[in-house]
Amino acid sequence: MISAAQLRARVGAFTLDDISFDVPSGAYGVVIGPTGSGKTTLLEVISGLVPQTGGTLALNGRDATRESPDARGIGLVYQLGFLFPHLSVEQNVMYGATDAAFAASIARRFGVHDFYSRSVNSLSGGERQLVALARALARKPELLLLDEPFSALDPPRRAAARREVRAIHRELGLTTLHVTHDFAEAGSLGDIAILLDGGRVLQSGEPADVFRHPKTPYVAEFLGAENVFAGGVMHEGGEAVFRSGPLAMHVAGSAVSGPCHAIIRAEEILISRATPAPSSARNHFSGPVRDIATVGPLWHVTIDVGGVPLVAALTTYSADELALAVGDTAYFTFKATAVHLC
C-alpha cells in the first residue's frame, strides 16, 4: 500500500505540492502527466531519494516519511534504466538479489537471460529497460515503482513486457505505481489513475471513472477528450439543456445549472449518412464533413455545426462502410448521458 498525504518536495525550482492519493495493497496505480509534471520526482520522493519537505508517506501501513531508501523495500525502474555500466548484465540483475534462483527466473521471464554475457554498453534502449525491470524485480520488492519502463521497447516486446509485469504484479501481490504519459497504457494497466500536472494532483480514481468524468475541462482535454464546450445549463420545461453558441444539447440529471463545461467523448457519438431512425438518443446534429483523420486504430470525423466543430470516432471497418468524404453531410447522434458536465 502506498498512501501519500499532503506530500511536498522541492528539486531546484520545481515543487511537488500537496500530493495526496492511495494505492491499496496489491493494486496497480498509474500516474499520468505531461513531461515536466513531476512524475519522476514523485517516484523519487516515494523511494526516499528526494527528501520530503512536508506531509506524510505510509508504505504497507508503516510510516516511511523518514525511512532511508534501502529500508523501504522498493524496486525503482527509471525510463533510461540506469544500469551500472561497470558491471555485466548478470551482475546488474543480481545486484540486490537475495534469492539467486528467483532472480534467474525473473531474468528468464523478461528474456534478459539471453544477453547475460553482453556488455551493458552494447544494449539497445529497450534491452536496458528489460534489464532494469529484471534488476528491480529480482530483489523481490514489496513495492514496484516504474517510470515509463516500456517506452524504448518495440510494440511486440512492449506488449510482452507489460503482460509479464502484470503477471508478476498479481503473483507477488506487488503494489505498483507506474508512471506514463500514455492514457491508453494507463487504461489497460491501472486499477487507479492519478493525474499529475505542474506538481499537483489534478484528479485520481478508477481509470474508467476519471476517463468518463473528468473534473475539469483541462483534465478532459489532457485525457484526449475531443469535444469540450464552454456554456451553461438551463432547465427548460423540466428538461436540462446545455447551450454553447449554436449548440443546444440535452443532458442528464438536474444537479448542474448555470455556467459549466460539457464534454462528449468522440467514441460516444454515432455517425450516419441519412437522418437516423427515432431512438432513445436525445441529441441529433448534422453538418458538412470538414475533416477525416486517422487516430491510432480509429478514424475521427469532424462536422461543422453552425461554425462549431464536433468530432466523432469510428473504426476503420465502419469508415469503409460509410465511405464518407469531406463535404458530405453526416448525422451525429448521442444520448443525454454521454454529455459529461463539469
- Applying CB under 8 A, which residues contact other proteins? 44, 47-49, 68-70, 72, 74-76, 78, 80-86, 95-96, 120-121, 128, 135-136, 139
Which is nearest to 66 in space by CA: 57, 79, 75?
57
Smaller CB separation from other proteins, 68 or 280:
68
Q: How far is the CB of 170 from other proteins (least distance, A)?
A: 22
- In whole angstroms, how far apart are CA 6 and each of 18, 21, 120? 4, 9, 39
Q: How far is the CB of 64 from other proteins (least distance, A)?
A: 13
CA 336: distance to chain centroid?
Answer: 26
Residue 82 CA to residue 76 CA, distance in Å, equals 10
Q: For residue 142, give the DSSP letter.
A: S
Smaller CB separation from other proteins, 137 or 194:
137
Q: How far is the CB of 126 from other proteins (least distance, A)?
A: 14
Q: 83: burial class by Cβ within 10 Å (0-12, 13-18, 19+)?
A: buried
- In whole angstroms, how far apart are CA 231 and each of 148, 248, 251, 263? 37, 10, 13, 11
Q: How far is the CB of 118 from other proteins (least distance, A)?
A: 13
Smaller CB separation from other proteins, 135 or 250:
135
Residue pair 243/251 in contact (Cβ under 8 Å)? The answer is: no
Smaller CB separation from other proteins, 135 or 261:
135
Residues in the chain: 342
Smaller CB separation from other proteins, 79 or 227:
79
Classified as helix, coil or strand, 313 is strand
Q: How far is the CB of 244 from other proteins (least distance, A)?
A: 47
Q: How far is the CB of 337 from other proteins (least distance, A)?
A: 46
Smaller CB separation from other proteins, 74 or 312:
74
Q: How far is the CB of 201 from other proteins (least distance, A)?
A: 23
Q: For residue 234, give the DSSP letter.
A: E
Residue 196 CA to residue 16 CA, distance in Å, equals 10
Residue 109: HSE in the Cβ half-sphere, 13 Å Cα cutoff: 20
Which is nearest to 176 in space by CA: 149, 205, 145?
145
Strand-pair partners of 240: 235
Q: How far is the CB of 95 from other proteins (least distance, A)?
A: 5
Smaller CB separation from other proteins, 95 or 218:
95
Smaller CB separation from other proteins, 124 or 316:
124
